[in-house]
Amino acid sequence: MNQEAQLIERIAKAVPSLRGARGGAEARRGLRLGIGDDAALLAKGGRGDWVLSCDAFVDGIHFRAKSYPPDSVGYKALARATSDLAAMGAEARFFLLTLGLPTGLRGAWLDRFLRGMRRAARELGMRLAGGDTTRSDKVSISITVIGEIGRELAVRRSGARSGDLIYVSGRLGRAALGLALMAARGPAAGLLAPLLKPHLYPQIRIELGNCLARRCVASAMMDISDGLSTDLARLCRASGVGARLAAERIPCVRIPPAATRALRGKRLNPLRMALHGGEDYELLFTVPRRSLKRLRSVREFRNCTAIGEIVRGGGTTLIDEKGRATPLEPLGWDPFS
């Protein structure tokens, strides 16, 4: 358990809350799923649930206001928060924005920031419902996202079972490559702009997540925000299972020669970036073999790759191309490490 998980555990024990699966009295008040998943579930009446999550985005921790395009900060702040809705299979609806700003960033910087947030809101089909503003020594953003889903359709982390296949969407490690290029070249990267895009303007799999939920394809699901190794460990822990991954099946980032030149010969390991890089905001999900036919009928199936299998027990094992097995340590992002 990493330091962030320990902190969450401490908070959950100290403050009245509902952890994990539904509980009697709390469920009657409308809180159907609390701490321990990508988002909370609140009964909305009828045959549906509200899906709620919040996300912090802080200068110096998650981005650097002096070197990142302001519109990318606005875009990514909303996109990364909304990824939690995709991980539950929900449809995105509304968001609340709390924004702390230094005095010097309330003019042109703020205009560009809002332009990026507006673009993300339009792409994701969301509307701003309210929030708060305050003066701050550095840019500090907190976003609460609200989605909805049919009753009993939300896909949790805890449903994976032995024999289920493990899938990921997209190609992993692209955000880590973009981050490395930002550190080496800054935002004015010219011809490398397409390689920066996954880091600066991540595309969120709302449609895929919703389809997997509506068609009851995925047994468990979450987004890859902190790295495959860390997030898969969380899913396995919530489900009480283990996992075996085939290294050669993991769809890793491709590093073109132009990127290598920009990095001044610094050697990057695509598999390591895919396993531990984080911020890809792709979906990690498990599928029972009986549901594979339904999965293949999903429109975005061509963007999904089977990378392993859920097994009994605990822990994650990585199998290399020679069949050698090694424990896969969760070495992804931890803001407190």
Let me know the angle formed at the C-alpha of 195 by 87 and 193, rounded to the nearest 5 degrees.
120
Q: Report the alpha-carbon distance of residue 224 to residue 161 in Å, rounded.
A: 20
Look at residue 53 and give its three-state secondary structure.
strand
Architecture of the domain whose range is 37-150: 2-Layer Sandwich (3.30)
User: Which amino acid is located at 193 in the chain?
Assistant: A
Position 119 scores a pLDDT of 98
Position 34 scores a pLDDT of 84
Residue 78 corresponds to which tokens in the numbers above? 């909303």
User: What is the residue extent of each domain of the chain?
Assistant: 37-150, 157-327
Q: Report the alpha-carbon distance of residue 247 to residue 280 in Å, rounded.
A: 18
Give yes or no for a contact between 67 and 186, defined as CB atoms under 8 angstroms apart.
Answer: yes
Position 185 scores a pLDDT of 67
Beta bridge partners of 314: none
pLDDT in tens, the chain (337 residues): 677 778 878 877 778 776 654 455 555 578 888 888 889 999 988 889 999 999 999 999 999 999 999 999 999 999 999 999 999 999 999 999 999 999 999 999 999 999 999 999 999 999 999 999 999 999 999 999 999 999 999 999 999 999 999 999 999 999 999 999 988 865 445 668 899 999 999 999 999 999 999 999 999 999 999 999 999 999 999 999 999 999 999 999 999 988 988 888 788 999 999 999 999 999 999 999 999 999 999 999 999 999 999 999 999 999 999 999 999 999 998 877 7
DSSP 103: G
Q: Is the dihedral of CA 17, 23, 27, 28 positive or negative?
A: negative
Position 235 scores a pLDDT of 97
Position 189 scores a pLDDT of 52
Residue 131 corresponds to which tokens in the numbers above? 């929030």
- Tell me the CA distances in angstroms from 160 to 164, 242, 268, 283, 311, one per residue in order: 7, 9, 32, 14, 9
Architecture of the domain whose range is 157-327: Alpha-Beta Complex (3.90)
Give yes or no for a contact between 176 and 78, defined as CB atoms under 8 angstroms apart.
Answer: no
Q: Is the dihedral of CA 273, 278, 283, 284 positive or negative?
A: positive
Nearest to 67 by CA among 130, 24, 109, 106: 109
Give yes or no for a contact between 26 and 34, defined as CB atoms under 8 angstroms apart.
Answer: yes
196 contacts: CB under 8 Å, gap ≥ 6: 178, 181, 182, 187, 189
Give yes or no for a contact between 203 and 224, defined as CB atoms under 8 angstroms apart.
Answer: no
Q: What is the pTM of this model?
A: 0.92
